[in-house]
Chain A
């Protein structure tokens, strides 16, 4: 309402032809912005993403600012000024009339050029950083060299692009392709892969696509009759049957009603579990199994969520980092577990507790649930906890940068942070971010030189 009053007042004033920076409770005629605004790199809408240099704007970028230039002749024709910019708009919008310098052929319109700097800032989806000028320049040059190194330019495709195909061969059209007038056309944005006669498009930001044998990490959300329901970053929840889980006493036997009533003593709601995909149910949801000793409940650690496409399927997903005493589980669904190392699940390290368990068994003469007998009161040592935090931060950093997550890369990053004496909390700050990007550039350069 205040803006409406001020607009009426402003109509009476003579127009000023110079460039002004005014608070947003003044109004501006639409599209009357100077050509200079075109040179201003664009800002993303989120208020804390890094902003490229703005030579024409006030450095204090307060939420209420607006760049105007008024043209006296046009102003007098406008009795109805409006368009107070939203308080969240930081950037001045480039004018539409800057296009009038393009050619004037009838019915031919010129497509605008994309702003590469804007494309660069979209990289920082996850992490909120404020980079200063030198860091920004370094980061951009690192990302630029990464892009130049990748040789994928020929195979990248966008929706509705034709995929070059030799029409004489019989081609099998796979995922992400469709037929349009005899041409093979992509339906996704991604990379074209060709394997023998199969042509398909691998989407770059695909959701998790489960396969039998995947190792995943999930969180229990519900206990249902004879099964647990887990949330696994998929469109449906996965199911872990009671019969697919080892009983605590380790004996292979039929699950009785007593076992079913005691399910809560094995896993409760909000427990984090590591399991393997056994198969699919008829409605597409997953069946899991956790029969081996390496699967089961995960304790004393951190669960991290990264985009699922950053975790590639490898031979080994459960890693034991001996130099730190940490277990690292890279779940294929994008859930990563970093925790203190346990020798194997269901047992504990100290010999004393093992004796306690045997005594208890001998005394009562019956098999008891192990959790009832012992409760190790040890706490995780401080050093191990610090290592866990370092590894977790490096995972967060790498996923924010968009790099594939592999154990070697994570360990490299942790070691670099230790050797450069970066504090754990500074690992997510701008400086280490830029350094990691630069290190990755060097690593890839040296890799490509070897080949």
Chain B
């Protein structure tokens, strides 16, 4: 049927088109595809499995169009309400879309209440994964509505503040096949709820009970879970070594354990846990206890398969690095943030054995110098992420080594590394895969440095230039031409930036998060130029941009339809600000205004 329109399509059958379509990864590419012709659009509609909607207004049409969706993401669409759901279910072709749906992301959907949820759950029979995290208003009723998903395997309900034991009980009784459950910050849940959970949901593989007021009694019940692989219990202040001893003899499949910030856990508790599970892959014990004891070091010798060890904030000595280096050859990630006692020697020992390291966090390890970074760069050729915040002794020499050897580098955090300058950034020219670069407080960086970045990091998505005061409009111009994929940009207190720079930022069409705090040279003109082009802006911080007046806000209100969170205040012209904000509120109800 496509032949009717253009000859070239006669060669492309629907199957072929679908195959081609599947090759497209980027959203922008798919968008272009859709715009080519009706046939292409139809193919796209048929094959599309996931949908992330920004505006609830379009949801109706979109769901009519895409009937084979497996995943519906409404997390950036917080205006969804019970009425919307009712409408969607009754006016979209008998809710065909709901039947195929497997994953539903309702994160931050605070407008939704249990009635709507129940309708939704009732219509989406095949749901396997639901995310209602950060729906702070959710309580037991909503949990009861969710419990209607009998086939549910994954449920995230982080920070559903109202959900207590009763709600959890509803869910565990209704959804007995749960495999992954996150209860982080569900502060009302207690030992009772966890105990019931562990009795009813024996399929659980992942459980997050972080920040709950549970005690070691919960761990006793958790220890009875036969299939549990991943247990996160960050910041459980009432859990102690006794609980970890329960885990030592239980949970035969345990692979990952996160006991970070559990104040009552000591190194002996952790070592008993490790003693029972030599197959552990992942340990996070950050800020748990003050010092790595010899017993822990001894235990670590058993963990041949360890992939990740995070011991943030714990005093370490070179011996542990020696042990890890000789034992854990498959180590991929190490977190040493704020660890005291991390020396160049220690790092050199570490990387001599752990050559597969991909993620290294050395935040605030202030005694680290170029020698350690050079050793890392030489040994860990697969390095993806290196965090060196506040490592003041790092200079361009380190960057040079990284630029030479670590070509896969994606994340580089150099915040507050005063030793970094334009020349250092120039050495990164071979690290073309960098996605995230943090240069906050690197006061020695100027437009020239930005130029290097723009030319060598075309993939860059996240750039932090907080208080890089030598940055000006020229640097931004280079950036906007070189880093087209930039999504997050922090220019706060880069006081040299003017309307011109702001205007050039407008060419960054992907930009969604922008911080312009304290830029008092930017006026409404610059803001207007920016917002007319950056249609995807979701977060915009304009605090202390004192030259921006009502016209700027009007433009913002008019153009930035996707804005969800904004920060403004301290502008001189507060005359009609409220009016502008009223326009905002008409659109972005959940806007967070910070005065």
Chain A bound to chain B: no
